[in-house]
Structure 1
Amino acid sequence: MKEYRIDDLARAAGINVRNVRVYQDRGLLPPPRKEGRTGWYNESHLSRLRLITRMLERGYTFATISELLLASQHGISVDEILESDDLRGPLGFFRSKAKVTLAELRKVFGDHAPPTLLERGKELGVLSGNGEAFAVRSPRLLEIAQTLVDAGVPIETIVETGQRVRDDLQDVAQLFVGTITETFLPDMAGAGHGELDEQRIAELAEAARKLRPLANKVVDLLFSEVMEVEISRTISRAATALNDDGEEGEDPFAH
């Protein structure tokens, strides 16, 4: 893999060295490989810098970029959020925004939505902030909500369903994390809690880091399976209901 000194990396990314150091200080860019007093960066650093530049150009804050890059380390593709350079379409609106106004939200979701839904949106982690402008924390979820509203699903139903899914996933997360704590910290709630050392805590942190993307894949695979089963059941029930209605409506003298 090709490696770069910091000045070569900055030149390849089209930015200055100071910005590279700023991004690194803010935790957006992983540290380089050290060889003596020289830091060596690789192609993954260059790709990360180009992604950061694109996100900054689109108005994202350092805090939002940090959250998205952290998410990418756990199985969520940041490129999905930035997959299109043409964000003028109806579903590119939220990806092109770091913040949205109350008026813009009402334009997308309708004036009829009660104010409590805005608070529910913040509880779900989709939006944050107060007043007339809100930070967009999950553009994809807002786009999904927009698609469902356009299809005729009430916004109240969407928010309620989102909350139920979030609650269920909280239980799933506790199950996965519980597996880690039972393995590495079996006495966490007992007398052995005081015997923890830095090594065991470091092992726990590393295990949790590795577990997150695996948990994402497990949930995705299992959900796909049960979703397919549920869709098949629903279609079967609908077909049965149609057949029953047809039989009831038949003319007994038709044969």
Structure 2
Amino acid sequence: MPKTPPPIPPSSDAPSVPASATPRNEYTVDELARVTDTTVRNVRAYQDRGLLEPPEKRGRVGVYDDTHVSRLKLINHLLTRGYTLANIQDLIMAVDEGHDLRSILGLETAIGSRWSRERPKKYSLLELLQMFGDKASPSALGKAVDLGLLERDGLSFVSGSPTALAAGATMAKEGIPLADLLDAVGIARPHFNAVAKALVDLVVRQLDRYDADALPPPADVPALVDAIWRVRPLAMVLVESEMNRALEEASGDYLGDRVAAIMEKKLGHAPEGTAAERTAAKKDKPRK
């Protein structure tokens, strides 16, 4: 039997953002396939089997949204767990018939939808050369593909984050070697993955109030979904705040060390105490 915790109280620090009022990402069928790591053919097949709702028609174009993203992620996850499409179809039919499985699948969009509103963008090799100049060497492009920053699409490349790509191009034009920039991404990624895991745990911990093998009661789902939508943007604020703090500390330490080195050269001798003692004293000094 599921636990029956008290209703989730509304937060006084953040406005209530019901799922229906949350801005949604929109995708063409190609973009949908790309962001969910599947194929257009699979998307069509899942629609034909009733596993995926058809897109909204705007003229001759089908428009998908985050509900399709979360459903495809669920299908992909269940397939990797060994379930067949027939099993998953039975599950979806049970949901459509109003069984309690709706309680967990009703959280699909709140938990599984994309956190970014960026749309993937395709670039020709010429466009990348215009952005990065001669720094867009074959080895650099290959490393960017290995890191998932770019995806090959025939003779073109697709970026899942055009903003990040533009930022990298600007940094390269400012003289930062592209190889060093890509190395920094590779070094930082495991740390970002750890931070993301911790923050996703915060979001989905709302489900820990129930038994691991039990579903939330249907009556609890609206408040649960509402709470998750409130926590998501707050988690992003926390990431930005902590990143700003870390950058300020790292750049301040570097500036202080650089100035100290100049003073040592000018004075002809180092200040009293070892480097470790000076660092410890700096950390012990009260902040103003």
TM-score range normalised by the length of the shorter chain: 0.5 to 0.7
What is the 5 A alignment of 1:29-44? none
Aligned to 1:147: 170
| Structure 1: segments with no counterpart, 5+ residues | 1-17, 29-69, 82-96, 250-255
- Cα pair distance change 1:198/1:154, threshold 3 Å: farther
Alpha-carbon shift at residue 236 of structure 1 (Å): 0.9
Count how many residue pairs are aligned between Structure 1 and Structure 2: 168
Mapped partners of 1:131, 1:157: distance in 2: 27
- Cα pair distance change 1:181/1:141, threshold 3 Å: closer
Aligned to 1:156: 179
2:195 is matched by which residue type in structure 1? V
Whether the aligned pair in 2 keeps the contact of 1:128 and 1:134 (CA below 8 Å) is: yes
Aligned to 1:209: 229
Aligned to 2:64: 26
| Structure 2: segments with no counterpart, 5+ residues | 1-56, 67-112, 270-288
Give TM-score, length-normalised by structure 1: 0.53
Mapped partners of 2:186, 2:195: distance in 1: 14
**Secondary structure of 2:240's match?**
helix
What is the 5 A alignment of 1:73-222? 98-111=121-134, 113-185=136-208, 192-197=211-216, 199=218, 205-222=225-242
Mapped partners of 1:202, 1:155: distance in 2: 47
Within the candidate set 266, 278, 281, 1:246 is matched to 266
Mapped partners of 2:222, 2:59: distance in 1: 29
Whether the aligned pair in 2 keeps the contact of 1:181 and 1:204 (CA below 8 Å) is: no
Mapped partners of 1:143, 1:221: distance in 2: 22
**Secondary structure of 1:143's match?**
helix
What is the 5 A alignment of 1:1-12? none
The C-alpha deviation readout for 1:125-167, integer Å capped at 9, x for no partner, is 4322333111232221111111111111111111111233332
Identity percentage of aligned residues: 22
Mapped partners of 1:99, 1:124: distance in 2: 17
Mapped partners of 2:149, 2:180: distance in 1: 16
Give TM-score, length-normalised by structure 2: 0.47
Alpha-carbon shift at residue 229 of structure 1 (Å): 2.0
Q: Which has the higher contact order (CA 8 A, sep 6+)?
A: 2
